[in-house]
Structure 1
C-alpha cells in the first residue's frame, strides 16, 4: 500500500472564496487560493494506523511591510486555524474525514491574527487591499505550527507567536497553555517555558512539537536561533530544544547544531524518550536549485548537555530572562563570538545527529518546505509539505506558488511515504 504514496499524493482541498487577485508570476492569470493549508505539522492517530491529523497555520497571509511596521496581509482575517483528520486508502488516495476548528476557552473560534500582549509580534494586520484591519489582533490567535495528538483524544499545538504551546480538548476548545509569560493567567496548570523563549525570532517560533512514547514529556524545537538578547544575534546555526515533563513540570533544554546558517528546523517526532527525528531545510525549490537542502536527521540527547542542569559558578550564570549565560553572554551571543568549540571547552555539547534521508536526493523533493514527519513503522516515514495555500509574494507582489510554471503545477499539500529507512531505536 505505502508504495502508492512514494511519489507523493495530494491532500484534498477547496478553493477559498477570494478572487480577482492578479498573479504576479503569470501575466493575465488570477491567483487560486487553496484551502487546504494542512501542512504545518502531521501527527499519527493514536489508535487508527492508517489515519493521521494535520495542522494549518494562521491562514492565507503574506508580507506587507511597505510602511515599515512588520505588516502582514490577511486575505481572510476571520480564518480559523484547524486540525484535519485524514485517512490513507488502499487505492493510493487520501480522504479528509473531518476538521476540528480551534477555539478559545469559551468556545469562540480563534483566528490567526497577531496577539496584542503575551508574545506580541507587533505585526500590523492589513486586508487584501492594504487597509489596516479595524480588529487586527486576537489574544487567542495562533500561528500554529506544531501538533501532538494524544491517546486521550486531546491535542497540543505550538505556535510562532508566543511561542505558545496550547492544550485543546477533542472538540478544539482550549483547556490550558504553556508559554514564557509569568503573568498569563491562561496557564491553568502553571507550566512555564524558560523565559528566554519569549525572545524567539519573529516568525521563527516553535515549529516542531512531539511527545515521548510514554505520553509524559512534550518536546519542542525552535525553527532557528532566537533573538537572545536581541535580533542582532538571531542568525546562527544554534537552535534550542525544550522538554517539558507533564507530570512534574520539570524542564530540560538542549542545543541542536544546524548544517547551515539560518536554516530552519520545521518538524520533530519522537522515536523514544531519547531519540527523535528532526527536519532541517533551506528555503529553496528544487526547480531553482537542484542542490536544495531538505533533510531528516535522527538526534540523540543522551550525551548532550541539559542547559537547565548547569549550576552558577565563576563562568556560568542562570539568568531568569536570558537563560544560561557564559561570561555574561547568552548562548546565542557566545556561539557567534567563540563558536561551538568555545561551548565545548565549557563542557556544553549539542545533541548527536546522523542523516536519515536526504529528500532532494531521494525524491527530487519539489517543495520549498517540509514541515511534517510521521513515523509509520521502523522502515516507513511519511513527509508532508506546507503549500502556503498555493500562493506567495515577491517584493510585495502576490503570485501563484508554482512548482512548474510552464506546466501550471501549483504547490499543494502532498504526502510522501519513504521506505527502506532505518528508523529503529538505538539501545
Structure 2
C-alpha cells in the first residue's frame, strides 16, 4: 500500500538539528561536528570512504546524538558505528556518538561512511560537496530506485525485503552514469513494489539520474536552506543563473479522489497533488525576504477519455474527459520561495457569487463549449456528480493588476478573460468572444479544444492586457501551398492569434504571432504550444514556446516578442486570414502577405539547463534581471489502460470507444479490460519553480537586426 504524504517535512530536520546541537554543547567538543549536506564532515576531510575519527577536541564526555540521513528522509538504511548499529527510521534517523564514524549499507552494498553528525547525505558518503558528481548521483539513484512506492517526494522507504535482496551483492558507486544505470538495472530486485510493479523494471536511464539529482537538490534547499545555483552559458542570453526548486505542498491541499477504484486509492492515498502552476504572477516580497507568487490551477484532475455517447443524444458519440474529482473548484494558489524552499501556502477557490462556486467541468453548449463530455472514472456520464457546468472555467494564467486591485485570469474554454478579487477568489467580471461591444473578438471562439488562451500579461504603462491562443485556431481546411493538398487550418496556419484587450474601454485588437513550421514535428504549426507570457516593458514581451520538434521530442524555450509600431490589426479578418497564410493567396479579401506580424526570436533554451517537464506554463518577472518559471504537472496523474489483472496495457484511452454504461466496445488494444487514472510519468510529476537570472537587464534584450 502506498504511504500517505508527507512523511518528511523540513520541521523534522530542524528538530533533529536542534537536538543534536544541544547535546554537542554539553560534550566539550571542538565546535561543530555535524556533517552538513553541503560541507564535508570534520575529521575525515569529507571522504566517503575515509576512516577519520572526527576527534572530540579533548572533551571527556560521551555525547550520543540522533542524526538524520537525507536524500529525502531515508528509512531502511543499515548503519554501523563503534557504539552500535541499527536501521534508519521513517524520519531517516540514526544514533551515534560524537566523534566516531558511521558506515551505511544496503544488504551487501556499502554506501560509504562519514563522521557522526546531525545531518548526513550522499554528499558526505561520496566525500564531495558537488551534487553533480557521479559518485553522488549514483548513490541518489540507488536509494530512489529502491523506494517502496517510487515517489521520493514523500520520503524514501526501503523495505527489509528489498535490502535483503541485495545481500551478497555489490555495485561500483564510482562508475560513469550510463554504466551505473545498466549495473543498477541488473541489481534491482524482481519483487513487486507497493504499486504491484517490479523494482527491476524501473527506469535507470539518464533521465532517471537527472530526476534523482533534482529531488536531492530540492531537499538541500527545503530542509537545509542550501539551494543550488548553477550557471549555464547560452549563445543568445549569455551566462544565465538557475536556482531550482520543487514545490512542496501540505497534505491538506491535496484533492480528494471521489471514486471507488481500489488501485487509484492505493496510488493516491491522500488524493491528487494540488497543481497550481498553470499560471504564475509575482506578488512581492514578504517581511522575511521570501518571494511571494500567485499561481492558478487549471480545471482540475482530469485525464484523457474515450469516445463516448453524447448526453444530449446517446446515439451519437464524441470526445470526453475523465474527472476523478469532479467537484474540484479551480483555485488561486499562493507560493512562497525562501529558506524553506518553494512552498504552496494557500488555495483560494474561485466563485461566481456568495453561494455558487466555479467549476472545472466543461460547458455543454454556447460560447466556451469544447464538445467534450465529462465522465466519472467509471467512464460514464453522471449528470448529478460530474455533469456539464455553465460556470466551468479552465484557468491558464494569472496576472496582478495593482492599479485595479484585482487579478486577471485567462482560460481555455471560452476563451474567457476574468477579473478576480484576489482576497476572495470571486470572479467580478468575465469577458467572452462574441459580437457585443464589450466582447472579445468572435474569431477567438474558434480556438482548438484545450488550446485556448494560455498566456496573459499586463502592460503596466497602458493598463492593456495582452494574451495569446496556445495554438492556431480550428476552422476548416485550406490548400497548403507546399503540397497542393487540402489540410486542416489548425495544423498548418502560419500564425496564432494575439489579443490586446483594454479593460478601461473594453475594446480589443488582434495581431498575428508567427509560428515557424520548420521547428515542429511533421512541419505542423499545430504542434506549437505557447505557454505563459510576461511584459518586459515598452512593446517587448517574454513568452514560453514549446512543442514536439522534428525529432518528436518536446522542446521548451523562452522567446522574446516585440509588437512593431506598424503591426497589423487583424481583428476584421476571420479564419480566411489563416487560410491565406497556408495557400499563399488572398482568400475572400484576406491576404496574409500584407500583414505586418509580431516579431519573435529565441532567447533561452530551457532544456539545455535541465528542464524536462513538458508543460512550462507559468512565467513571471521578479526583478530587472530575473524571471520565475513553473510547470503544470496535471495533478500528477494520467489515464492508462489495464488488463483483467489490473496491469497496464500499452495504448491510449482516446483510441477506445465506450457505451453509456462505461463498457469498452471498440478501439482498445487487445487484452484491454478497463481504464483508470494512475500516477503520471516520473518526469512530469514534480511541480518545479525555477528562478532564472539573466546576466543583463531583461529590457536590454532586443530583436536581431
TM-score range relative to shorter protein: 0.7 to 0.9
Pairing 1:411–2:685 present: yes
CA shift for structure 1 position 95: 2.8
The aligned counterpart of 1:302 is 564
State the aligned residue count: 389
CA shift for structure 1 position 11: 1.6
The aligned counterpart of 2:533 is 268
Asked whether the equivalents of residues 303 and 352 of structure 1 are also in contact (C-alpha less than 8 Å), the reply is no
CA shift for structure 1 position 347: 2.4
Candidates 74, 77, 81, aligned match of 2:326? 77
Instruction: Name which of structure 1's ranges 44-53 and 56-65 shifts more when overlaid on structure 2.
Output: 44-53
The aligned counterpart of 2:634 is 388
CA shift for structure 1 position 22: 4.1
CA shift for structure 1 position 44: 0.9
Q: Deviations over 1:71-123 (max 9, x none)?
A: 1111111100001111111x251233322210013442111011133221121
Supply the distance in 2 between the matched residues of 1:269 and 1:21 (Cα, whole angstroms). 43
3-state SS of the aligned residue for 1:403? coil
Candidates 458, 461, 466, aligned match of 1:211? 458
Pairing 1:8–2:244 present: yes
Supply the distance in 2 between the matched residues of 1:179 and 1:426 (Cα, whole angstroms). 34
Supply the distance in 2 between the matched residues of 1:107 and 1:169 (Cα, whole angstroms). 16
The aligned counterpart of 1:162 is 414
Superposed, which structure 2 residues align to 1:346-425 within 5 Å? 346-361=593-608, 363-393=609-639, 395-396=652-653, 397=675, 398-403=677-682, 411-422=685-696, 423-425=698-700
Candidates 230, 234, 246, aligned match of 2:490? 234
Asked whether the equivalents of residues 303 and 351 of structure 1 are also in contact (C-alpha less than 8 Å), the reply is no
Candidates 249, 256, 263, aligned match of 2:506? 249
The aligned counterpart of 2:133 is none
Pairing 1:111–2:352 present: no
Instruction: Name which of structure 1's ranges 78-87 and 98-107 shifts more when overlaid on structure 2.
Output: 98-107
The aligned counterpart of 1:314 is none
Question: TM (normalized to structure 2)?
Answer: 0.51
The aligned counterpart of 2:178 is none
Pairing 1:38–2:276 present: yes
Asked whether the equivalents of residues 292 and 360 of structure 1 are also in contact (C-alpha less than 8 Å), the reply is no
The aligned counterpart of 1:282 is 547
Q: Deviations over 1:232-262 (max 9, x none)?
A: 3111342111001122233221111224322
* Structure 1 residue runs without a partner (length 5+): 24-28, 184-189, 310-317, 319-323, 405-409
Supply the distance in 2 between the matched residues of 1:209 and 1:194 (Cα, whole angstroms). 16
Asked whether the equivalents of residues 100 and 172 of structure 1 are also in contact (C-alpha less than 8 Å), the reply is yes
Superposed, which structure 2 residues align to 1:66-105 within 5 Å? 66-67=307-308, 68-89=317-338, 91=339, 93-105=341-353
Asked whether the equivalents of residues 366 and 403 of structure 1 are also in contact (C-alpha less than 8 Å), the reply is no
Pairing 1:150–2:401 present: yes
The aligned counterpart of 1:50 is 291
Supply the distance in 1 between the matched residues of 2:472 and 2:695 (Cα, whole angstroms). 29
3-state SS of the aligned residue for 1:59? coil
Superposed, which structure 2 residues align to 1:106-145 within 5 Å? 106-116=354-364, 117-135=366-384, 136-145=387-396
CA shift for structure 1 position 141: 1.0
Supply the distance in 1 between the matched residues of 2:324 and 2:691 (Cα, whole angstroms). 32
Q: Deviations over 1:204-241 (max 9, x none)?
A: 00011111123610111100000135793111342111
The aligned counterpart of 2:427 is 174
The aligned counterpart of 1:222 is 469
3-state SS of the aligned residue for 1:282? strand
The aligned counterpart of 1:187 is none
- CA distance 1:339–1:360, shift in 2 (3 Å): farther
The aligned counterpart of 1:195 is 442
Supply the distance in 1 between the matched residues of 2:490 and 2:566 (Cα, whole angstroms). 22
Asked whether the equivalents of residues 45 and 52 of structure 1 are also in contact (C-alpha less than 8 Å), the reply is yes
Q: CA RMSD in A?
A: 3.0
Asked whether the equivalents of residues 83 and 100 of structure 1 are also in contact (C-alpha less than 8 Å), the reply is yes
3-state SS of the aligned residue for 1:140? coil
3-state SS of the aligned residue for 1:367? coil
CA shift for structure 1 position 31: 5.2
Q: Which has the larger radius of gyration?
A: 2
3-state SS of the aligned residue for 1:402? coil
CA shift for structure 1 position 195: 0.9
- CA distance 1:304–1:137, shift in 2 (3 Å): farther
Asked whether the equivalents of residues 256 and 272 of structure 2 are also in contact (C-alpha less than 8 Å), the reply is no
- CA distance 1:75–1:339, shift in 2 (3 Å): farther
Supply the distance in 2 between the matched residues of 1:62 and 1:119 (Cα, whole angstroms). 19
Supply the distance in 2 between the matched residues of 1:334 and 1:372 (Cα, whole angstroms). 33
Asked whether the equivalents of residues 304 and 348 of structure 1 are also in contact (C-alpha less than 8 Å), the reply is no
Supply the distance in 1 between the matched residues of 2:262 and 2:558 (Cα, whole angstroms). 36
Asked whether the equivalents of residues 278 and 297 of structure 2 are also in contact (C-alpha less than 8 Å), the reply is yes
Asked whether the equivalents of residues 283 and 369 of structure 1 are also in contact (C-alpha less than 8 Å), the reply is no
Supply the distance in 2 between the matched residues of 1:86 and 1:44 (Cα, whole angstroms). 10
